[in-house]
Structure 1
Amino acid sequence: MFESGLLILTRPIPVLRKNVQDILSRAAKIISSTLYVHIQPNQSTKLESDSARFQFVPLDKNVRMLMTDIYSSSASVCGNMDIYVLLGNITNSQSLVAKCHYNLRSKLEVVLLDNSDQFSVNEQYFNKFVQNTFQASGNNIKFQCISDIDFTQQVDSEENSHIQTYRQVVLGGTFDRLHAGHKILLGEGCLLAEERLTVGVTTGDMNLKKSLPELIQPTTERINSVVDFIETVKPQISHRVVPISDMFGPTITDPDLQCIVVSAETAKGGEIVNQERQKKGFQQLDVYTIDLVQDICHGQYEEVKVSSSSLRKRLLGTVINPIKENRNIPSSPYILGVTGGIASGKSAICKRLEKLGAATVDCDKLGHQAYVKGTPGYDKVVSTFGTGILSEDGEVNRRALGAIVFSDETKMQTLNGIVWPEIARMATEEIRQYGTEGKTIVVLEAAILLKAGWEDMCHEVWGCVIPVGEAVKRLEERNHLSEEEALKRIKLGVSNEELVKKCNVILCSQWEYEYTQQQVEKAWHLLHERLPSPVKSQY
């Protein structure tokens, strides 16, 4: 199997559309990572190597739908293979074709052809074509034909129509982890644009209403992905890819724009944009609407359409940050840190892990024991904060102590400096005891795990995230707190952003109980695949 390759399609477009899933399925058996697709329909069987260059393909409905079919099918047929439909020769301007020369990101290893008869008599042409078009040496590239596909079948003729193109085209989106839907949207923009494609990439508050916004890639990374895509599929047009913090972006500041590409679910946005442009005296944009791509592989708790939200959900329970080897602690028992903000559901997740076979050390409970009468922590707390914090029975009055430290950050840090080492000491003793009892996986549950630096006590750390609004709702219902009080408690804890940055695995209890259970079971299963040999052998 090859990592990357080029697929040249030369059959008539109606025939290609009829067989696109079969073609891609065969390509996926040959190429594992990146597939570039070049469309050159109705190719003459009489080919001369001296003229082995692009064939101009005018933009019409059928060729546009073939691009869409390829991306739509790739979402279900090709798994994790990254597909790019090259569009440099598909345009209404022949002068643009002459300017096109591809600079592919991946080195070509194999060229696939849909017509074995052509290649058998025109091998020299295709070798020359690859050299001229992709700056690749034909001598180092394998050529392979996708055979056994019935291209002789009758295909109903469809009404075809010319598609208008524009000098300046604009579109926008989140573009988190480019998927088939994004590629269709950007591909349509590339097909329609003759000079420049402007793309707005959402940032800031615009992403907060998205599912799992903490897992959205950084804006710079998303912008670079869009730029790479445009430069790959249609290198002869210019591009402007910018971050946008509202729904308008460049559409209400650039009077030269002529067309906006929108999806079926954001079509209303095109009308709103034109209303604003009218106020400024700008030319109205033609609104070009494309359909959503159905995700036939979507799970029960995922969207029916291909979406970044579903891709982010699929990250839950998987390793998102590398697990570093911790040589300062023994390999067994395997210590799994679980942390999260208040009301994030970490305790419920730990209970699920217990049912699956893990032992649990609850650091919140140990925190209550860290300064009970007769312990070293008790003496340090009393000597630091005075006897005024004691109840009649001589125990520390947690409410009185809280009144002191919650209003003074310095005093809170002082208390933490006393209590946290005591909790860590007791947690270490419990872990050691579980190890002597034969437990091989021990969960260290601690809201303060990251703040206290206890990740160094763990082999890996799992973080539980929850939207702030959902956390507030839970605290209002569970603890009878006001919204203001709830937000104050939430801000004292670790943020979702810090959890995503520092934890190895992320879980989210925002949705139904069953979905949280699925995440935990998935994470537990994947954990066992990476356990060190001495621990794994005991399962």
Structure 2
Amino acid sequence: MLVKTGLLVTSNPNRLGIILPQIKHEIESILYIQVLNALREPFGNFYPNMFSSWPKLSHIIKGIYTQAAKHCQNLDVRVLLSGLKYKNKLIYTEREVELVIFDEKYASDEVQKFLSTKLVNISKDYKILTCANIAAEPISADLEQKNDKVYQHTVLGGTFDRLHLAHKLLLSEAALRSNSKITVGVTEENMIKSKILWELIEPLETRMSTVENFLKDICPELNISVVSIEDPFGPTQHDPTIDLLVVSKETIRGGEKVNEVRKSKGLPLLDLVAVDLIDEPAQNPHEEKKISSNTQRMRLLGTLLKPVKQNLNLPKRPYVIGLTGGIATGKSNIAKRLQELGAYVIDCDKIAHGV
């Protein structure tokens, strides 16, 4: 039986390419991932000689989300950062953990001690799964990273429609680089109408709530502010406390424009950190190479977005549907499907040809 929420405790993220395909069918909704050397070691002690600052962990976080994109896009994967950034003694999760997965075999008393003393929100009927004896390459890191600074107040912005793995990578980068506050600007309706299938974009309130929930889940120690923005600059054009702007590699020009505006207003310039995009592992024709909300919305076409509700107020006379469209847009297929469901079809093309 599927559980709604699982927690994977991994001592080597390079094993995930093998582990994720094994466990994805065990979990229905959320998979938390906690990186930890060993159960007996304290949090915040993940290869300290290699990852001497929080931003150096970015390479590991991207690797995890990239593997998640390849093997379990159906799951809401969340890499927990508190245990990496701070020497917390406990693992906090918003959702109750029902399945705990280990990538190494530990002694039963060690496992029980870990579960009883480290996990705050664990189901009383929890299950344990061990994926042991899995080969993996040594841990690697982007030690050539030019900027591993940590900032007081980081900011980023976007539409954040149907929060996906690339969004999570951006938000995680902002969380790793902040020791105090994150501000996230979420675009209002006036800024989304140029996007592909913008009509399918989630309501503003939903997008803001999803971003806030994710950040509070992965790093609740931070002061998190999620605000709506009606222009590309948002709070960066007036807030002097912001010192870092996180962007994607494709939006770095927008970050430079932000600094132009701040300079014109006498505000200190922001450092810019550009995050690499995650490739879409199952790209179809006409879809973007990167993981994107545009692709997600395109894939929604032809699916049921809301449950069908019975309308008891329909008139008793025949319900007339007008079906129109250009050449090769699927009218015949839709008409055939409606006919299979019991509708009577009048083909006006055939009637016109017979006149």
Matches within 5 A, 1:361-510: 440-442=342-344
Distance 1:66 1:26 in 2: 21
The answer to whether the 8 Å contact 1:5/1:112 transfers is yes
Aligned equivalents of 2:276, 2:219: Cα separation in 1: 22
Q: Deviations over 1:436-466 (max 9, x none)?
A: xx99334699xxxxxxxxxxxxxxxxxxxxx
Of 76, 82, 88, which residue of structure 2 is paired with 1:88? 82
| Aligned twin of 1:124 | 112
3-state SS, counterpart of residue 303 of structure 1: coil
What amino acid is the match of 2:111?
E
* Conservation of the 8 A alpha-carbon contact between 2:184 and 2:227: yes
Confirm or deny that 1:102 pairs with 2:85.
no
Residue 216 of structure 2: which of 213, 231, 235 is its match? Answer: 231
- Closer/same/farther in 2, CA of residues 270 and 120 from structure 1, 3 Å limit: same
User: Does structure 1 retain, via aligned residues, the 8 Å contact 2:16–2:67?
Assistant: yes
| SS of aligned partner of 1:347 | coil
CA displacement, residues 173-213 of structure 1 (integer Å, 9 cap, x when unaligned): 00000001111111111111111100000113210110011
**Residue matched to 1:155:** 138
Do 1:252 and 1:273's aligned partners in 2 also have CA atoms closer than 8 Å? Answer: yes
Identity %: 33
Question: 3-state SS of the aligned residue for 2:156?
Answer: strand
Q: 1:351 to 1:209 in 2, by over 3 A?
A: closer
Q: Give structure 2 stretches of 5+ with no counterpart.
A: 47-51, 348-355
Q: 1:136 aligns with which of 115, 122, 126?
A: 122
Aligned to 2:170: 185
For residue 121 of structure 2, what is the amino acid of its counterpart? Q
Match of 1:261 among 246, 258, 271: 246
Tell me by how many angstroms 1:308 deviates: 0.6
Question: For residue 8 of structure 2, what is the aligned residue in structure 1?
Answer: 7
The amino acid that maps onto 2:343 is: I
- Distance in 2, matches of 1:350 and 1:327, equals 35
Alignment correspondent of 1:63? 57
Note the 1:47-62 alignment, pairs <5 A: 47=40, 54-57=43-46, 59-60=53-54
Q: What is the count of residue pairs matched by the alignment?
A: 338
Distance 1:157 1:130, change over 3 A: closer
Structure 2 matches for 1:205-220, cutoff 5 A?
205-220=190-205
TM-score (norm 1): 0.57
Query: Contact between 1:358 and 1:442, CA under 8 Å: does it hold in 2?
Result: no
Which residue does 1:74 correspond to in 2? 68
Q: Residue 309 of structure 1: CA displacement?
A: 0.8
- Alpha-carbon distance between aligned partners in 2 of 1:61 and 1:173, rounded to the nearest angstrom: 21
Shift of the 156–107 alpha-carbon distance from structure 1 to 2, 3 Å rule, reads closer
Partner of 2:234: 249
Task: Give per-residue Cα distances to partners, 1:358-385, cap 9 Å, x unaligned.
Answer: 399xxxxxxxxxxxxxxxxxxxxxxxxx
Give me the TM-score of the superposition, normalised by structure 2: 0.84
| Distance in 2 of aligned mates of 1:196 and 1:443 | 60
1:236-385 counterparts in 2 under 5 A?
A: 236-326=221-311, 337=321, 346-348=324-326, 352-354=330-332, 358=336
Counterpart-to-counterpart distance in 1, 2:280 and 2:150: 29
2:55–2:150: 8 Å Cα contact kept in structure 1? no
Deviation of 1:238 (Å): 0.7
Please state how far the C-alpha of 1:79 moved relative to its aligned partner.
Answer: 3.2
Residues 230 and 239, structure 1, Cα contact 8 Å, conserved in 2: yes
- Partner AA of 2:63 in structure 1: D
> By how many angstroms is 1:101 displaced?
6.0
| Equivalent-residue separation in structure 2 for 1:291 and 1:159 (angstroms) | 13
Question: Structure 1 pair 242/336, CA: closer, same or farther in 2 (3 Å)?
Answer: farther
User: Larger % of helix: which?
Assistant: 1
Does the CA contact (< 8 Å) of 1:100 and 1:234 recur in 2? no
CA contact (8 A) 2:55 2:173 kept: no
Helix, strand or coil for the counterpart of 1:164? coil
**Which amino acid letter does the alignment assign opposite residue 20 of structure 1?**
L
In 2: Cα distance, 1:329 partner to 1:276 partner:
56
Distance 1:336 1:148 in 2: 63
Give the RMSD, CA atoms, in angstroms.
Answer: 3.1
- Match of 1:441, SS state, is coil
Paired position in structure 2 for 1:395: none
Q: What amino acid is aligned across from residue 69 of structure 1 in structure 2?
A: G
Counterpart AA for 1:31: I
Q: Classify 1:28/1:177 alpha carbon distance in 2 versus 1 (closer, same or farther; 3 Å).
A: same
Question: The residue matched to 2:63 in structure 1 has which SS?
Answer: helix
* In the alignment, structure 1 residue 199 sits paired with structure 2 residue 184: yes
Does the 8 Å contact 1:295/1:305 carry over to 2? yes
Change (3 A) 1:290 1:338: farther
**Which amino acid in 2 is paired with 1:318?**
T
Instruction: State the distance in 1 between where 2:81 and 2:153 align.
Output: 17
Instruction: Name the CA distance, whole Å, in 2 between partners of 1:63 and 1:119.
Output: 29
Distance 2:275 2:159 in 1: 16
Name the CA distance, whole Å, in 1 between partners of 2:201 and 2:193. 10
Distance 1:259 1:149, change over 3 A: same
After superposition, the Cα gap between the structure-2 partners of 1:99 and 1:143, relative to the gap in structure 1 and judged at 3 Å, is closer
1:336 deviates by: 8.0
Distance 1:81 1:349, change over 3 A: farther
Aligned-partner Cα distance in 2 for 1:278–1:99: 43
- Determine helix, strand or coil for the equivalent of 1:241: strand
The answer (yes or no) to whether the contact 1:302–1:310 under 8 Å persists in 2 is yes
Q: Alpha carbons of 1:236 and 1:349: their partners in 2 closer, same or farther (altered >3 Å)?
A: farther
Q: Is this contact kept in 1: 2:90–2:118, CA < 8 A?
A: no
Give the Cα separation in 1 of the matches to 2:245 and 2:262. Answer: 12
Matched residue of 2:235: which SS? Answer: helix
